[in-house]
Every structure is written in C-alpha cells, then in structure tokens.
Structure 1
Amino acid sequence: MAATTAPGQGLVLGYNSVHPFSAIPLSDRASVQALLAALLDPLEPFFSPRKARVRCPGATAVRFDQTASEVEGFCRPLWGLACLLAGGGSYRGTQWWIDGIRAGTDPDDADEYWGYPRDNDQRMVEMCPLGYALAAAPQIWAGLSERERRNVEAWLGNSVNEKNMPNTNWLWFRVFANLGLKKNGGKFSQERLDADIKHLDTFYRGDGWSNDGPEGIHQMDYYSSSFAIHFLQLLYAKLAGDEDPERAAEFKKRAQLVALDLAHYYDEEGRAIPFGRSVGYRFAMVSFWGALAYADVELPAPLTWGMVKGIVLRHLRWWQTQRDIWSSSGTLTIGYSYPNMYMAENYNSPGSPYWACLAFICLAVPETHPFWTSKEENHWDVIPKIKALKHPGHIMSNLGGHCMLLSSGQACSYPMKGTHAKYGAFAYSSAYGYSVPPGLFTLEQYSLASQLGFSDDGGEYWKTRRLSTSSLETRGPDATPVLVSLWSPFPDVHVKTYLIPPRAETPNWHIRAHHIRAEGREVLTADGSFAISSTRTPDGRPLDPYDAARGEGTRPRLIGNYDLATPEAWADGADGAFAVSKGAVGIRALEGRVGAAAGGARSSKRTAMLVNADPNSNLIESRTTIPTLQGVVAKGESVWYVTGIYAKPSGKGVPKEEYLSGWEVLPEVPAWLREEMGSK
C-alpha cells in the first residue's frame, strides 16, 4: 500500500508502505509537479518553529557546523519549489520558505538566524538556490517587507562578496547570490559577478566541456554538467540573457556542443552512469536536459525534444523504482539506491541529498514547449554506440545491455573518501554502479570492482590506480579508441594500462591489458570485474554454485570471508569466474591466448575466484560479489595481464537463460595489442 501524508503531519513508512513518490505515473508536466510535492511534503515536520531551518532525520555530522547543515536542509528543496513557481505552479507549503527566509536572515532572531558566512563557508553553497529562487519566483521577494529585504541583501550580498571561495564551481554560487538580488532591485555587486564569471571561463576546456577547477586539475564529472557548471550557465543565460547576450549565447553554444557527449551517460532503462563524487544527489544527474529547454537552446541534430523528454522522464521513473532511498519519515537519505554512509562525502549532511531538486528545472519550462508536447523518444536510436570523449578522458559504450564508460586520468584534487573508486576505476556501468571500500583490510573490504589492486604484505592492504597520466588514442585498421594510462601503485612498481571498448561481435565483453614492471618488490595482484548482487531470487540467501535451470549462481563457488582456502573456491584464470543474479558479470584471463607473441614478457598464470565484498560497498546493491583474478608478480619481473570483463545486465526482454549467452564467445585480443606485447 502507498503511504500518505496529511498537512501538518509527518509521513511514516511502515513495513509494506510505498512512498507516494513511487506511486505517481509520470507522463506530463502535472505528474512531475505531483512528484515534486511528494518529495517536499515529508519535510514539513522537520522545519524549525519559524521555518528558517530544516533538520532532516539523521544525526550524522559533516565538516561544517550544525546550523549550516540545517540551512542546507532549508535551501536545497528551494531548487524544486522555485522551478515550480517559475513555471506558474503552486505548492501548499510555499509560505514555509518565505517565512524561513525572513527569519533566517534576521540577525535579531537569536534562535533561527543563519549567521554570516566565513571564508569557504557552506552557507555560500546554499546561497545559490536562494539566489535562483529570488530571481525566478518574484512572489518570494514580494512576500518580504522592506526591512526584511535589507536583511536578505546583507546576508546574501554584502557578506559573500567579501569572502574567499574555493577555486571550483562554487564561484557560480556567488554569481547567483548577486543575480537574485539584481533581478529584484536589491544591492548587489556587478563587479564581483563579472569577475567570477570571467574566472569561471578559465575552467573551459573546449567542445562544450568545463573542468571543475583550474589548470592542473582533471575532474569532469556531473559537476561539469548537471550538478553545477553547465546547469548554472544555462540558468544564467535564461535569467540574464537580455542584459548579457554575448555570454548567454556562448553558454548556449557550449550546451549544444556538449549535449551530444552527455547523451551517452543515460541508458534506455533511465539509469545514469554513476561516476565521481556526490552521486548521492541522485536525480540531479539529469538536470542538464531540463535546463536546455528552460534556456530555449536549439537542440543539435540529431537530438529532438522527444529524446530529451525521454531522458528526463525515464530517469525519474527509474528512481521511482528505488524504494530504499527513503528514511522511515519519507525524507531522502544519504546514499544512492539505499542509505549508505560509506560512499558519502564529508560534506553530505542529512539535508544534502535535496540537491536532487535540480532535476525539477523542467517544471519552469512552459507547458507549451516541445519538451512537454513531444512524444518520448529514445536517443539511442540516433547516436553512436561507441564514442570517445577527449576532454573527460572517457570511452562511452552502449553495447551489451548497459551504458558504460571507460575512464583514465581523472582524479579529485583534494582528499576524498574512496577517491580511487570514484575516479580511478577502469569502467563504470549504469547497471552495476561502482563500489567503495567500507574498510581497509583484505580484498573483502577494499571491494575492488573494476580495479586492479596491488599488495606487498600478503594481501592485508591494497593499493590501486588513483593518479595517472593518460592519453586517448586510436589503434588498429578500424581506428578503435583506446585509453592508455601510466600509473605506479608503489614507487618501484609501474603499470601501463590499455582500456579497449566492446565490439559488436562480442558486445558483453571489454578488455583491459596491463604491462606490470615490479622493479623493487614482489606484489600480489587482484583484478576485479563489476560487482553484482550476491543473493538468490527466492529467499535472498547467498548464491549457490551456478544452476543453469534456475539461471543464477556462481562459478567457482562463492565462499565466505573465513574459508578461502577451500579448493572449490578457485579456478584457473583462463576458465575465469562469474556470478549470475541480476544479469551476469564475469572475468577471464586472456593472456594465455596471446601465446608466443608475448615475446620476452612471460604470460602470467592467474587464478579466478569471487570476492565476497563487505556489505554496503556497492552503490546499487547492498550485498555483492566481485569475480576476481589473482596473481603474483615477483620482484624484478615484467608481466602482461590481458583481462576480459563480461557484463550482461538483466532488463526488459532479457530472459535468465540468456544471461551467460556470450560467456563462451571470448573477445579477440587485437592484433595491435599482440604486437605491442611482443615488442616490450
């Protein structure tokens, strides 16, 4: 049964309850308006008495103070409310936010005043949705007295314009603080606004892509598109285009250029590829597409508004199926497909996930716009299945039932939990998600999905790729795109990795090859496939050995964390390991197929097994296993590994008996790679 909430009462989700968010059939603008209301309604009991703060359920701490955390809980839902109001919609709780702005910016309100920001203060981030709300929804400013407006000016403009900010997408937040005041005749700094945009332009790298930071940083994740930079460029073009037509035109042009790249991150099921930090913002990953319509951008061929609408609505529908993302009170939790603190950043407070409300920019789009009047279409009917993206250093693929990106070279510029998993993995999938380490002891805790790990202490501690230098190249007569990266897990162990996308003949396989030189120490190696659910369909108990009749299980046997010496848990690396549950993933050592072409570098003998990953390590499935190849590289040795990674997700029209249909059809090791192996 679906849960409901009455005005003034909180939503309580019981054992069999379904959140109202999941019970709304999505088809048109009115249904998306109802979806937003279902997201905002459960917040009502968590407002402070005068509405200036929202304390979402969960007492977890973040790197900033508790007041800033509660300001975050108040301001982030404003993204959705402001978009709704800008499009002529209404919400029963609109006055909550008007009252909250009044109290939160009043320095005489000892209990609810937000406090002036200091340098690099989280309050600066929350000024962005507030600034947009003031600019796009005039009724908010109109609801304030003259004294209250002066308070808003002092808090939103005077304070932030005097403070230092991180040299990242944050600078856009100050732009919108000033823009919100400017649009309402308030005091603002045009000089600061212009200077910030001028500096943000130095992040631009070409072909529509902006980096999230200055030269020397390579970080192009969802902050470069939907979370911040492209999204806010388009909002600026809409709101300030009459006064700043040149910048508006440039921002629209960049969006046109990058749209044909960004389309590759969303699959036919509505799933986006999780990559990088802050993916706990969930459906904000799709906000770029609604912003295209909001800013009246002319779509680049062959995209149509029906395709854009399809990307947005399919994405929201997929999140409707993720029924574990809610607290028992109906609020969003920290996590991805379920509550998960292991993947959270140190800035993710209980109110942080409401940055997801960016997705509702489509509600600011008039109902007469072709975004709403067009029939949904599938963009994969017209864009290529394989595409190399120069600036982010990605090769995109939509073969084998999921969207996937191969990645090299990106890295976060500051310490971040699980940074090697969020940026340094070799492959990221819309179906399987990435895995983060819930601990730092043995493979079970490191959870090396789509990563190659090295240990020099017998397998207790592991190091993987984090920093690397990379190049995007083409190889072979058909000019196959290949990512090549150089990295060193230890100062005296060096790796050259080649990432090769799937081919039409073997769509469920991609290849990664590693040339490893262990100059100064012996190392154990662990090469992991994607992570997949490790539970049986009937009862949720651990997978048994593979049963073709039931269409699920593992080969070799999935063993617990404490009895890995069991012989039946291991297999020859050439035979590989696989797990079948929600589709199938697997891994096989292909270096033996190269034969004598390897020349002087020996063809390493690896063994296959399944890592029983610690629970809650994966973004999408809370219980997973990772088919893995393990090996040893002796001190002074030079070794080639050639690894085939198999993935065939479950999905519409994919019967269980087909999950392993491509497992025995191995991918061909390209001739150019054989030649390079022989030349080393």
Structure 2
Amino acid sequence: MSTTDNTDNTDTNTRPGLTLGYTTTHPFSRTPLTDRASVQHLLTTLLDPLEPFFSPGHARVRLPGGTAVRFDQTASEVEGFARPLWGVAFLLAGGGEYRGSEWWVEGLRNGTDPETEKEGEYWGYPADNDQRMVEMCPLGFALAVVPGIWEGIGERGRGNVERWLGNSINEKNMPNTNWLWFRVFANLGLKKNGGQFSQERLDADIKHLETFYRGDGWSNDGPEGIHQMDYYSSSFAIHFLQLLYAKLAGEDDPENAAEFKKRAQLAALDLLHYYDEEGRAIPFGRSVGYRFAMVSFWGALAYADVELPAPLTWGMVKGIVMRHLRWWQTQHDIWSSSGTLTIGYSYPCMYMAENYNSPGSPYWACLAFICLAVPETHPFWTSKEEDHWAVSPRIKALKQPGHIMSNLGGHCMLLSSGQACSYPMKGTHAKYGAFAYSSAFGYSVPTGLFTLEQYALASQLGLSDDEGESWKTRRLSTSTLETRSDGEGALPVLVSLWSPFRDVHVKTYLLPPREDTPNWHLRAHQIRAEGREVMTADGGFAIRSSRAKDGRMLGVYDDKVTHEGTRPVLVGNYDLATPAGWADGREGAFGVSVGAVGVKALEGDVIVGDQTGETKKRTAMLVNADPNSNLIEGRTTIPTLQGTVRKGETVWYVTAVYAKPSGEGVERREYLSGWDKVPEVPAWLRKEIAQ
C-alpha cells in the first residue's frame, strides 16, 4: 500500500488519501478478524479513504466514478455522506472512537442550513419520493444513539435539522415500500432528542408497514399483490430496521417491539440457509451491490437482545458474520484505486447496477457493522465461532419467499419460484426470475439485447421467435410450492406457470439435489407453442472461462494434467457454426475452472415426443457470455441446451444441472467426480410427462 497527498482545488488544505497500485492490497483485506477490536479496525479501513472526497464543509461526499443516477447530483452526494454514517454511528454507540467522527457532525449542521447554499453544502428540502428520504434513516438513527451530535450542532443547527429531517419528510409522499421505515427513523431520531417530530406520522407508518407482513416471520417489500422477498425483507431494511426499532422504541411501544423480535426468531431459522460454510451469501434480487450488508440481520439480533431460537447459538450467529466479512476480504477487486467501494459485486460492474446506484450507494454495506453497537460482554462477542450447518437441515422449503434451499455439493443454492420486482428494473428477470441462485457461482445479467452471448442466460430458460436474436425468459409467473414422493421420502418441488409470449406457455418443475446426487438439480419444462415456433436455450450456472496458468480462454477439457477446460469446445462469439462446439444433449456440456458446472438433457430417458411421436432432441454447447455479465467472475461461459419447438407442438424438456465449486480440500481432479452419476427422473414426474 502507498499513500499520497490529494489536493482538492476547492480547498486550501491538503488531505491525505489512499492510492492502490498494481500490486498493493487494500487495508480491508489485511486486517485479521478475530474479535470486536479487529472488526472496529476493519470499519476504519472503509471510512479512511473517504476523507479526500468530502466537501470543505463536510456536508457532501463526491466519490470517484462520476456515474449518474435517477436522482440529482446533490442527492447523490448526500448519499455519499449519509451511508458511511451507519458504520460511524454503530462504532460510537458501542463505545468506539473514530478520528473523523466530527466530519459528520459538521456536515449535518451545514447540509441542513439553507445559508450554506452558496458554498455548495446545503442539501435542499426533499420533494415527493426523493432519495434524500432514504438517507434520513442513518441520520435519524445516529441522532438517536450517538451522544453529542444533537448538542454538537448548536441551537440553530437543531432548528434546521428539525425542519429538514422532520417537517419536510412528514409532509411528502413516499413509495409504498420499505422506504416508510426511513421516515420512522427520521421521527424517532428527533423524538429521542426532544426535537419536533410527528408521533401521528410515526404511528401511521408502523401501522401501514404491518400490511407488508406475510407470515412465518417474513415481510414483503410492498403491499398485497407484490411478491418480492429479497435481502430488503431481511438485512437491508425491513427486519433490520424492525430490530433497531425494537431496541430504541421498546419502552414506548412494547407490543410492536415484542412482535418484531418474535418475527426475527422465526425468520432466523430460514435466513441461515442463505450463508454457506465459507461465508458466502447467495446473491439474489436487487441491490446486492451493498455486498456485506447481506449479513446485517445477524448483528441486529444481538443489538436488539433477541433470544435465539433453538438450535441457533450466539457462536453460530457470530460465525455467520465473521466468515462473511472474511470472504469479502478475499474479493480484492471491489475497490477503486482510491480505496473506495465501487458499484458492483466481486468487481466493478455497471451492468448489474440499478438506476439508483450512485458511487456512494455501496456504503449501505456499513449496515454489517451493527455488531459494533453490541457490547463486548454480549455472548455474540464472547462466544467461540461455530458452524450453523452442524445443526441445520441441508434441504428446506421456505413457503413465504417461495424458495427451496439447498446446501449439498459444496455450495448453498436456492431454487426460486420466480419472484418479480414491482416496477421496471434492469435485468429484473435475472435477479428474480432465474431458476437457481448459488453462493459460489452468482447470477448473470444481460449486457445487451442481441444473441445468447449478451443475454447470458445462466440458470434461465430463454425462448426466441426470431432465430436467436432476442430472447424472453421467466419474469412474471404463478407458482406453487408442492411436496412429492417417489418412494424414498417426501421432496419439495416448485411448480411455476409462465408465458414468455401470449401464445407460448411454459410449466416448469424445479427439483432440489438429493443426498446421493448432491451436485445435481433437475428442471422439467412443458412448453406449449400454440401460436409460433420458438427456439429454446436452457442455461446452467456460469463459470470462469479462463485458464489458471495464463488467463487465456479455456481449451478442451484436459483430464490428465490441468483438469480444466470445456466439453464440447468453447468457441468464440463469431465461430458458432463450428461443429466441434456442439454435442448431443444426452452427452451434455460442461466447463471446469473454479469448480465445474454443466447440463445434460434427460428427456430421452422418459421418451418425450411430440404429437407425431417424434422424440425431441436438444443439442449441448457453451455460451461464451459477454464479459462482466456475471456478478462474481468477469469472464464466464454457460453450459446450455438448445432445441426448437414447432408451432402447435407441446414438448417436455428435462434438464439435469451440475454444479461443484472449488473449495478447501477439493482437488481439481474431483470437480467432475459426480458428472457421470446423473439423478433419475422420479416416477411421479415420469407419470406427469406421460399424461
């Protein structure tokens, strides 16, 4: 690591900044995580690089990147200021210290003062549905828990904050989503300090947020009719803020506080299935660019003094958090050269970004540091780390989100019923509508609207009516979670109905892995092409497409020395007609690099035919996906089965999907150890197909 002086032309002071060079490693990755003090230090490695990007009056933070979002530039810079405050507030509330904590006190004073507008510090009052409302949440929380901020802004500052944080948000419209919690905390922060707030508005918002509750501990990110249960339902917003509310407002509102804790107990036994033994979380849904915020729920349990449900222990909860942070320490490409977080997941990536992801947006990740507000005497900190998978079932069906969770074959995976974002979103079909999501391989998003290479249909079935130029996948669906038996015990199954075209209808069955074939899951699709002919492409997981020794594109699979490569040949985007790049669907296609992924067509096993009795056959190949389409790997290939369904036909396709990631103790020669042991199509599904 090297440091340099960065001089801001608008400021006569020279302020130090972090510069990462070709061979340097971010301090975040060089902090051994063992105890509370080490996590405190880890937070400072996130905060220190922000210093050069503060405005002179510290009310705004303009982070490198310069990318635009759907809201104005001032709101973007308010976001850059407010989101790191989550971490600062947690640190200070837990008795810690940070050398720059006064930056946020000064910034709050200047940002809410209309007289600083000429100096470029004033934030401006929010309009309806304004991004500034989101950033009021960490401001309100910080006011509630950090002694000294309210006094530190002075009498004039307190009046400005009351008007900006309370009056303005209480008079404006807000989206009917988790945003309502942000207004709750704006009022709560003022209430805790004796400022002007609206108890009526606070109570009304809490009451309305109750309509989002669906049962079993789960809340939707919206009202009835919306099926969107992602990390916003847990760690990013709803569960997280319910627990903070229970802690801060428990004396005034004991009934809701007790209910929120009860829901957290129920949800905890579901949510633990999203985190694997290596600390990876399953990326699913929008805003996964908030990265380690995905683990925030667990620290909030400790902060709110929730009694853990059996068989969870505080050692297991601590293990989930610490392993997760350690995994992110291995992701060295998440930083800008200035040491700030970038937009992306395991590397900078705008393809996956939402239209509200500004350069400061990733600092919602600071929610993960809620554990620092937990006293050092709490069993969260005094317990030894434990593995929750020692007591957790490896397969579990989750009714409310419509997921089947699996931890077999070296990774956590969820099979999805096909949720849908309630408003237009870039790549929404990939973020919610894919069939499977993996902690090891991540999901892929489209980079464009032309050919499979740009659509990057990882874990999706695409259908095309224009000879493969454009593709449609599952986005809106009607789904059920069922239980089937094949003589060896009950098995959860997801069934979804969806129509990529008005006259093409698909029924999809998703079957989780089994103990005897842990690296495989099954998909069965009944496709009714009533009004048009369609090409089909059923993709497996995406995997790194470069060789370990030199980074060049994978060659033909080498089963003797390197134990990496593909079968059939991975061809370039311009060589798709190469015969060597195609194989019979029964033989399948696979890619081997950081583990192995693949697909095989099993419809021949159940003698699937069309109305003429002709057996339908698919071909196997590897899609050379556009770079930066996958969240975790910048260069990927996707094993894919392709076929054609003629107009008027009804066809069944049965796809076996293989996945075995690399991991500690897994040798390269073992990546394909389960490839030849394909699961059998269960009898009940054979019967369903034969009808």
- SS at 1:489's partner residue? strand
Per the alignment, residue 34 of structure 1 pairs with 41
Deviations 1:8-38 (A, max 9, x none): 3010000001000000000100000000000
The question of whether the paired residues in 1 share the 8 Å contact of 2:609 and 2:616 is answered with no
Where does 1:109-128 land on structure 2 (aligned, <5 Å)?
Answer: 109-110=116-117, 111-128=120-137
The question of whether the paired residues in 2 share the 8 Å contact of 1:598 and 1:674 is answered with no
Shift of 1:409: 3.2
- SS at 1:11's partner residue? strand
Q: Please, which of 566, 591, 595 is the counterpart of residue 603 of structure 2?
A: 591
Distance in 2 (alpha carbons) for counterparts of 1:411 and 1:536: 36
The question of whether the paired residues in 1 share the 8 Å contact of 2:180 and 2:205 is answered with yes
- SS at 2:115's partner residue? coil
The question of whether the paired residues in 2 share the 8 Å contact of 1:406 and 1:427 is answered with yes
1:567 aligns with 2:579: yes
Per the alignment, residue 646 of structure 2 pairs with 634
Distance in 2 (alpha carbons) for counterparts of 1:641 and 1:603: 11
Distance in 1 (alpha carbons) for counterparts of 2:483 and 2:624: 37
Per the alignment, residue 263 of structure 1 pairs with 272
Per the alignment, residue 492 of structure 1 pairs with 503
Per the alignment, residue 391 of structure 2 pairs with 382
1:511 aligns with 2:522: yes
Per the alignment, residue 343 of structure 2 pairs with 334
Identity of aligned residues (%): 81
Distance in 1 (alpha carbons) for counterparts of 2:512 and 2:406: 7
Per the alignment, residue 56 of structure 1 pairs with 63
Per the alignment, residue 649 of structure 1 pairs with 661
Could you tell me which amino acid in structure 1 is paired with residue 38 of structure 2?
S
Could you tell me which amino acid in structure 2 is paired with residue 369 of structure 1?
H
Per the alignment, residue 30 of structure 2 pairs with 23
Distance in 2 (alpha carbons) for counterparts of 1:410 and 1:122: 25
Q: Please, which of 193, 206, 209 is the counterpart of residue 200 of structure 1?
A: 209
Distance in 2 (alpha carbons) for counterparts of 1:183 and 1:596: 67
Distance in 2 (alpha carbons) for counterparts of 1:386 and 1:85: 40
TM-score by length of 1: 0.99
The question of whether the paired residues in 2 share the 8 Å contact of 1:449 and 1:530 is answered with yes
Distance in 1 (alpha carbons) for counterparts of 2:678 and 2:524: 15
1:678 aligns with 2:690: yes
Distance in 1 (alpha carbons) for counterparts of 2:535 and 2:367: 45
Could you tell me which amino acid in structure 2 is paired with residue 21 of structure 1?
F
Per the alignment, residue 10 of structure 2 pairs with none
The question of whether the paired residues in 2 share the 8 Å contact of 1:54 and 1:70 is answered with yes
Could you tell me which amino acid in structure 2 is paired with residue 298 of structure 1?
E
Per the alignment, residue 74 of structure 2 pairs with 67
- SS at 2:411's partner residue? coil
Distance in 1 (alpha carbons) for counterparts of 2:610 and 2:266: 42
Per the alignment, residue 82 of structure 1 pairs with 89
1:397 aligns with 2:409: no
1:435 aligns with 2:444: yes
Deviations 1:558-593 (A, max 9, x none): 000001111100000000000000000000001111
Shift of 1:510: 0.1
Distance in 2 (alpha carbons) for counterparts of 1:359 and 1:305: 16
The question of whether the paired residues in 1 share the 8 Å contact of 2:608 and 2:652 is answered with no
- SS at 1:77's partner residue? helix
Per the alignment, residue 479 of structure 1 pairs with 490
The question of whether the paired residues in 2 share the 8 Å contact of 1:603 and 1:641 is answered with no
Deviations 1:383-438 (A, max 9, x none): 10000000000000000000000001310010000000000000000000000001
Per the alignment, residue 108 of structure 2 pairs with 101
Deviations 1:353-375 (A, max 9, x none): 00000000000000000000000
- SS at 2:159's partner residue? helix
Q: 1:239–1:545: structure 2 CA closer, same or farther, 3 Å change rule?
A: same
Q: 1:589–1:596: structure 2 CA closer, same or farther, 3 Å change rule?
A: closer
Q: 1:485–1:367: structure 2 CA closer, same or farther, 3 Å change rule?
A: same
Per the alignment, residue 540 of structure 1 pairs with 551
- SS at 1:626's partner residue? strand
Distance in 2 (alpha carbons) for counterparts of 1:413 and 1:180: 30
Could you tell me which amino acid in structure 2 is paired with residue 504 of structure 1?
E
Distance in 1 (alpha carbons) for counterparts of 2:613 and 2:130: 54
Per the alignment, residue 253 of structure 2 pairs with 244
Structure 2 unaligned runs (5+)? 6-13
Per the alignment, residue 45 of structure 1 pairs with 52
- SS at 1:515's partner residue? strand
The question of whether the paired residues in 2 share the 8 Å contact of 1:24 and 1:31 is answered with yes
The question of whether the paired residues in 2 share the 8 Å contact of 1:209 and 1:258 is answered with yes
The question of whether the paired residues in 1 share the 8 Å contact of 2:418 and 2:435 is answered with no
The question of whether the paired residues in 2 share the 8 Å contact of 1:390 and 1:472 is answered with yes
Could you tell me which amino acid in structure 1 is paired with residue 599 of structure 2?
I
Distance in 1 (alpha carbons) for counterparts of 2:689 and 2:469: 31
1:617 aligns with 2:629: yes
Shift of 1:603: 3.9
The question of whether the paired residues in 1 share the 8 Å contact of 2:610 and 2:650 is answered with no
- SS at 1:100's partner residue? helix
Could you tell me which amino acid in structure 2 is paired with residue 672 of structure 1?
W
- SS at 2:89's partner residue? helix
Could you tell me which amino acid in structure 1 is paired with residue 77 of structure 2?
E
The question of whether the paired residues in 1 share the 8 Å contact of 2:610 and 2:651 is answered with no
- SS at 1:9's partner residue? strand
The question of whether the paired residues in 2 share the 8 Å contact of 1:3 and 1:19 is answered with no
Deviations 1:103-129 (A, max 9, x none): 000011112110000000000000000
Distance in 2 (alpha carbons) for counterparts of 1:26 and 1:82: 21
Shift of 1:295: 0.2
Q: Please, which of 345, 351, 354 is the counterpart of residue 345 of structure 1?
A: 354
Aligned length: 678
The question of whether the paired residues in 2 share the 8 Å contact of 1:601 and 1:638 is answered with no
Shift of 1:242: 1.2
Distance in 2 (alpha carbons) for counterparts of 1:538 and 1:619: 22
The question of whether the paired residues in 2 share the 8 Å contact of 1:517 and 1:637 is answered with yes
- SS at 1:648's partner residue? strand
The question of whether the paired residues in 1 share the 8 Å contact of 2:623 and 2:637 is answered with yes
Distance in 1 (alpha carbons) for counterparts of 2:414 and 2:530: 31
Shift of 1:94: 0.3
- SS at 1:498's partner residue? strand
Distance in 1 (alpha carbons) for counterparts of 2:150 and 2:47: 21
Q: 1:491–1:390: structure 2 CA closer, same or farther, 3 Å change rule?
A: same
Shift of 1:604: 1.9
1:468 aligns with 2:477: yes
Q: 1:4–1:260: structure 2 CA closer, same or farther, 3 Å change rule?
A: farther
Where does 1:226-241 land on structure 2 (aligned, <5 Å)?
Answer: 226-241=235-250
- SS at 1:628's partner residue? strand
Q: Please, which of 573, 579, 585 is the counterpart of residue 591 of structure 2?
A: 579
Q: 1:597–1:558: structure 2 CA closer, same or farther, 3 Å change rule?
A: closer
The question of whether the paired residues in 2 share the 8 Å contact of 1:599 and 1:678 is answered with no
Per the alignment, residue 9 of structure 2 pairs with none
Where does 1:168-179 land on structure 2 (aligned, <5 Å)?
Answer: 168-179=177-188
Where does 1:310-321 land on structure 2 (aligned, <5 Å)?
Answer: 310-321=319-330
Shift of 1:595: 2.8
